[in-house]
Amino acid sequence: MIDEYFNGIIRDVNNVIADYIKGDIKQLYEASYYLFQAGGKRLRPLMLVCSSDLVGGERKRAVLAGASVEVLHTFTLIHDDIMDEDNLRRGMPTVHVKYGIPMAILAGDLLHAKAFQILNDALEGLESTLITKAIRMFTDAILVISEGQALDMQFEDRKSVTENEYLDMITRKTAKLFSTSTGLGALIGKATDEGVKKLEEFGLLLGISFQIVDDILGLTANEEELGKPLYSDIREGKKTILVVKALEIATEDEKKIILQNLGNRGATKEELRQTADLIKKYSLDYAYELADKYYKLAIDRLESIEWKNELAGKALKYIAEFTVKRRK
């Protein structure tokens, strides 16, 4: 039942994306469309459409808005991979590895504009104040995500980061787009201000939980599950919640080993594995509990909203559960 519901949304969203991402400059549109074909869970459009359904919104608008959020997300992935020098994503060479950095920058820019084009079509015919609000929500998200990515890069050069700084960074980099997805679904579904706010909070809390689980998987999943090289977070010096926590409580000698290999792109596999084991020893339980805490807060928020569509509510619960229990 829920599977069918999800598959219907994903099919419609994918059709919109395929419809919009085409044009007469072959290589540019190929590079722009490449990552959509490589897979992806379409979590954000699912959350957007479910949120719209939950408050009784128009499905056609929600599907368009869902596609716009996925296109936006994909633009950030393409540019992030260049900045982080990541070579694999979803088990495939990243866009800049396949098409070169200039074309990858341009493909990201094209998708950034496409996201607005699709959003604009999703909003056509709504009243003026609603359109302005929706576009403000969308642009705010991109600004905040850019700030989050800047913080993420700055943290790579820092020896220590506090848990609060970490939470601020992932709130901007990851959770903001989750809250924008659920909030935008509610907004164009013509929810009350209160409804929009609660669904935004649900998305934000879930997004924090999602990123913590992502950090955990970076040190516990295998290469196939990850779709990228093992321990790339360590190699890039990412200050994940596991690193933040381990550096807080490891012994001085252990800290030294961790800091030696963190951000060392020349570290051997054995050094990386040893470092990962050290980090996990001190942080894995803590990180799981933290992810669970935000997951439960998210569910609370979801249950405080009036559900106009039982299936959509159950689907959002299912998505929330999936984010903390997933293996990839």
Instruction: Name the site residues for a second copy (rule: CB under 8 A).
Output: 23-25, 27-28, 76, 79, 82-84, 101-103, 105-106, 108-110, 112-114, 116-117, 120, 123-128, 131-132, 135-136, 138-140, 142-143, 146-147, 149-151, 153-154
Backbone angles phi, psi at 176, to 5 degrees: -60, -40
Q: Which is nearer to a second copy, 124 or 193 (CB)?
A: 124
Q: Which is nearer to a second copy, 154 or 260 (CB)?
A: 154
Q: Which is nearer to a second copy, 147 or 292 (CB)?
A: 147
Q: Which is nearer to a second copy, 148 or 195 (CB)?
A: 148
What's the closest the beta carbon of residue 100 comes to a second copy, in angstroms? Answer: 9
Exposure class string for 255-287: b at 16+ Cβ within 10 A, else e: bebbbebbebeebeeebbeebbebbbebbbebb
What's the closest the beta carbon of residue 155 comes to a second copy, in angstroms? Answer: 12
What's the closest the beta carbon of residue 27 comes to a second copy, in angstroms? Answer: 7
> Among positive and negative, which fits the CA dihedral 160, 242, 268, 148?
negative
Q: Which is nearer to a second copy, 82 or 88 (CB)?
A: 82
What's the closest the beta carbon of residue 138 comes to a second copy, in angstroms? Answer: 8
The alpha helices in the chain, defined as continuous H runs, are: 2-20, 26-37, 43-54, 59-83, 95-99, 101-123, 128-156, 163-170, 176-188, 193-220, 223-226, 232-235, 241-249, 252-261, 269-303, 310-325
Give the three-state DSSP class for 92.
Answer: strand
CA distance 224 to 211: 19
What's the closest the beta carbon of residue 216 comes to a second copy, in angstroms? Answer: 26
What's the closest the beta carbon of residue 113 comes to a second copy, in angstroms? Answer: 4
Q: Which is nearer to a second copy, 123 or 258 (CB)?
A: 123
What's the closest the beta carbon of residue 276 comes to a second copy, in angstroms? Answer: 25
Q: Which is nearer to a second copy, 146 or 274 (CB)?
A: 146
Exposure class string for 135-167: b at 16+ Cβ within 10 A, else e: eebbeebbebbeebbebbeebeeeeebeeeebb
Which residues are bridge partners to 89 per DSSP? 92
